[in-house]
Amino acid sequence: MNKIGLILSREYLVRVRKKSFIIMTFIGPILFGGITIVPIWLSKEAIEERVVYIKDDSGLFKGKFKDSDNTRYVFTEANLEEAKENVDRHVTPNLLYIPAIDIDQPKGVAFFSNSNPSFSLVNDLKNVLRDVIEEIKLDRSGLDKQVIENLKVSLDISTINLREGKETESNVGVATVVGYLGAFMTYFFIFYYGTQILRGVIEEKTNRIIEVIVSSVKPFQLMMGKILGIGFVGLTQFVLWVILTAAVSSGIFYAFGITKSDPGNQINQTMDIQDAEAIAAANSKSSEMFQAILSQDYTLIVFAFAFYFLGGFFLYGSLFAAVGSAIDHESDAQQFMLPITIPLIFSIIALTAVLNEPNGSLAFWLSVIPFTSPVVMMMRIPFEVPLWELLLSMVSLLAGFIFTTWIAGRIYRIGILIYGTKVNYKTLAKWFFVKS
């Protein structure tokens, strides 16, 4: 065991001191921070007050445009050419031109701007125009306004999770985002660090240091030390990312004057991007959303990530080590890597189906089978998984990696000492059955 520790610490220290690790450690959180911050920042930009000049030749819309927090509507009497010139000279940056339209066929409405108008602004304008025209048409049809009002339905379903005796307001949107993030991170980490195992094994083989090492330790100890060492590098990276991402995000939040004590504001803007309809949502609804984000059990998610990353990494990593031991060059790895990684890739593809029914039988089986469980379970956790399923999945992952490590160890002990042989699946099977 002591020797595994020595190998582990070498593998760990060599990688943690590498420039690429340090760069990744700092760039990761900036990227993640950026992903969460940029949309907020963008919507904050949009909050600057803008003025829309309206040249209404039809005369139907006077007083119909209501000023909002950040948009003011001004009717202009200038003729169209003048007004357009003003846009060009930045005097009036936005101009909505409504010609004298035929309400049965409203055509020729145009929006002039010296920059690309935002999607939400155009949407707002369209909504007002449509409403007004609809209203006029309804008026003409002679239907009672009251009847029409009564026909309109306003419906909103709040989803409330009754499990474990307490009512937690769950939000499918938040759970989806958190789930996807966890699943992709697991996938990425398994792949990224799994490949490092492959490289490390091939390096030792091509360096020919392997024979020196295995004259001091058992091949299995070397393999385990390497896998554990690299696994801890991954874990270190993850922990640093969590800390730094939190720091970067809160730093930027602070810089933009969005603080946690002002959840309404923060959420309002997040929703800008998520859902155009929701822009109109009231502040009370925003804080519900904020509650939903907070209601996720992040301790569980971080713990689960650590477990499923390490479990999945050991499972696939040991197979990668076996592949690395069998070949002489990284370029030969492809034929063996593909079949190994198919379940991993499949679990990413299956995420959409899992998302449709996070507690359905497909989701259940994929999160119990150890080859797909690391990715799929991370998707399911934000949707609250029964404890027994979580435990079953963890036990099965443990069993899975013990099994693959055993197989890999048997191939590895032979493979690392064999050079220049064309290896196929038949030879791998022969190595596996060689007695020790």
Partner 1 sequence: MATLYTDRINKDFIGHKALDDISINIPEGNIYGLLGPNGAGKTTLIRIITQIIMADSGVVYIDNRPITPRDIERIGYLPEERGLYKKMKVADQLLYLARLKGISRNDAVDRIRTWLKKLELDEWANKNVQDLSKGMQQKIQFISTIIANPEIIILDEPFSGFDPINADTIKDEILKLRENGATIIFSTHRMESVEELCDNIALINKSKKILEGSKVEIKNSFKSNTYYVEHKGDLVDMPKEFQLIKSEVNGEQIAKSEIMISDGTVGNDLLKYLVNSVQVVAFIEKIPTMNEIFINAVTQERHE
Q: Which parts of this chain interact with partner 1 (CB under 8 A)?
A: 3, 6-7, 10, 14, 203, 206-218, 417, 419, 430, 435-436
Rounded to 10°, the helix 219-255/2-16 angle is: 40
Residue 66 or 435 having the CB closest to partner 1: 435
Helices (H) and strands (E) in the chain — how many of each? 17, 6
Q: How far is the CB of 213 from partner 1 (least distance, A)?
A: 7
- Tell the smallest beta-carbon distance from residue 48 to partner 1 (Å): 52
Alpha helices in 256-333 (DSSP H): 263-274, 283-295, 298-326
Nearer to partner 1 among residue 3 and residue 84 (C-beta):
3
The CB-of-278 to partner 1 minimum distance in angstroms stands at 53
Q: Quote the least distance from Cβ 429 to partner 1, whole Å.
A: 11
CA 114 to chain centre: 34
Shortest spacing between CB 21 and partner 1, in angstroms: 13
- Alpha-carbon distance of 144 to 405, in angstroms, equals 76
Separation in Å, CA 339 to CA 155, 333, 335, 371 = 49, 11, 8, 12
Residue number with CB closer to partner 1 (324 or 382):
324
Nearest-angstrom CA–CA distance, 173 and 355: 11
Rounded-to-integer distance, Cα 15 and Cα 36, Å: 29
Q: Which amino acid is at 327?
A: I
Retrieve residue 296's tokens. 């996720």
Residues 6+ apart with CB under 8 A from 231: 193, 310, 313, 314, 317
Q: Among residues 351, 345, 343, 357, which one has the least CA distance to residue 400?
A: 343
Q: How far is the CB of 209 from partner 1 (least distance, A)?
A: 4
Residue with tokens 């390497």: 226
| Nearest to partner 1 of 20, 154 (CB atom) | 20
- How far apart are CB 198 and partner 1 at their closest, in Å? 17
Q: How far apart are CA 134 and CA 260, in angstroms?
A: 42
Strand partners, 75: 54
- Complex with partner 1: residue 64 or 199, whichever CB lies closer: 199
Closer residue to partner 1 (CB): 388 or 433: 433
Which CB, 55 or 205, lies closer to partner 1?
A: 205
Between 248 and 327, whose beta carbon lies closer to partner 1?
Answer: 327
Give all strands (DSSP E) within 76-192, no chain letters: 94-98, 110-113, 160-161, 168-169
In whole angstroms, give the CA distance from residue 100 to residue 84: 17
221 vs 286 by CB, closer to partner 1: 221
Angle at 212 between CA 209 and CA 213, to 5 degrees: 85
For residue 349, the minimal CB distance to partner 1 (Å) is 38
The least CB distance from residue 436 to partner 1, in Å, is: 6
Distance, in Å, from the CA atom of 203 to the CA atom of 379, rounded to the nearest integer, reads: 35
